[in-house]
């Protein structure tokens, strides 16, 4: 942070494989903002629970993993597996897990590391719960078929043998769990801009989002 200027906070929410991760990284680089992929926190909690042979539905195990989370856990090699993805959505449904991760996310937003002017946080509840006062909120989405195609391509490139239908089915199950849970479900904040990336390439999506951020967070007056 420079001087005592308030940190700029950009909140980006949306379902799995909507393009919000790539978009967030590109926007953070363009505006010199730090980036926190909050999904990786839930994935790390889930990966720790699975690696310990525990059940992600076990609230005591999941809360303990969340409370004991270390920055090294965010570098685990098993964060992107389909098993971790499903388990992350299960641990994310537990209020105590969410409470344990809230402070870290808010501190990151208020005082982003690395001498930058602020932060981009992406996830499911950034604009609604973690940073309701964010300067800019985007809700990034795409049709479920587009998202499943993207995720399938990603998995195949990594050597995974999952079929498109399996990926689509797993994605629908995760969407449902993330949207229907009682605590901080995935939903568009009232003041979020909707960005549907179904028909957009990454450059077009970045250009549209950047124009909104420029106007809302960096224009004087
Ligand atoms: O964005 P992702 O697919 O890496 O997220 C993994 C899971 O974590 C997702 O299914 C739901 C949960 N999550 C959440 O509940 N809240 C967030 N802010 C980010 C992710």
DSSP-H helix ranges across 56-186: 59-67, 82-91, 95-110, 144-157, 164-180
Q: Which domain holds residue 46?
A: 9-196
Nearest residue (by CA) to ligand 1, atom 6, is 39
Residue 217 falls inside a structural domain? no
Domain presence at residue 103: yes
Place of tokens 């239908």: 165
What would the two tokens of residue 93 be?
């449904």
Mean pLDDT over each residue of the chain, to the nearest integer:
94
Residue 213 in any domain: the answer is: no
Q: Is the pLDDT of residue 1 over 70?
A: no
For the domain that residue 91 is a member of, what is the CATH number? Answer: 3.40.50.300
Which residue in the block uniquely carries the two structure tokens 């995974």?
A: 160
Per-residue pLDDT of 36-50, as tens digits, reads: 999 999 999 999 999
Query: Which one, of 90, 54, 78, 63, lies nearest residue 170 by Cα?
Result: 90
Total count of domains within the chain: 1
Mapped onto helix, strand or coil, the DSSP state of residue 1 is coil
- The residue whose C-alpha atom lies closest to atom 9 belonging to ligand 1 is 89
> Cα(220)–Cα(173) distance, rounded to whole angstroms?
44
Q: What is the mean pLDDT of residues 123-152?
A: 97
- The number of the ligand 1 atom at minimal distance from the alpha carbon of 125 is 18
Nearest CA to ligand 1 atom 15: 92
CB-defined site of ligand 1, < 6 Å: 16, 38-39, 42-43, 88-89, 92, 123-126, 174, 178
Taking the model in full, what pTM does it have? 0.94
- The Cα 56–Cα 69 span in angstroms is 15
Per-residue pLDDT reduced to its tens digit, 79-91 = 999 999 999 999 9
Q: Is the pLDDT of residue 10 over 80?
A: yes
Query: Is the pLDDT assigned to residue 205 strictly greater than 80?
Result: yes
């Amino acid at each position: 942070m420079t001087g005592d200027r308030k940190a700029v906070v950009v909140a980006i929410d949306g379902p799995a494989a909507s393009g919000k991760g790539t978009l967030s990284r590109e926007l953070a680089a363009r505006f010199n903002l730090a980036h926190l992929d909050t999904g990786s926190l839930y994935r790390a909690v889930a990966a720790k629970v699975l690696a310990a042979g525990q059940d992600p539905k076990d609230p005591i195990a999941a809360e303990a993993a969340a409370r004991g989370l270390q920055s090294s856990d965010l570098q685990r090699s098993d964060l992107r597996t389909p098993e971790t993805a499903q388990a992350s959505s299960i641990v994310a449904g537990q209020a105590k897990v969410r409470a344990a991760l809230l402070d870290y996310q808010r501190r990151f937003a208020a005082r982003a590391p690395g001498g930058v002017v602020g932060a981009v946080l992406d996830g499911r509840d950034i604009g609604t719960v973690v940073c309701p006062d964010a300067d800019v909120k985007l809700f990034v989405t795409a049709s479920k078929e587009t998202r499943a195609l993207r995720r399938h391509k990603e998995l195949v490139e990594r050597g995974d043998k999952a079929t498109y239908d399996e990926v689509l089915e797993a994605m629908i199950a995760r969407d449902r769990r993330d949207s229907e849970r009682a605590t901080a479900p995935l939903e568009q904040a009232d003041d979020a801009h909707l960005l549907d990336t179904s028909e957009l390439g990454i450059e077009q999506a970045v250009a549209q989002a950047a124009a909104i951020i420029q106007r809302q967070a960096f224009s004087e007056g």
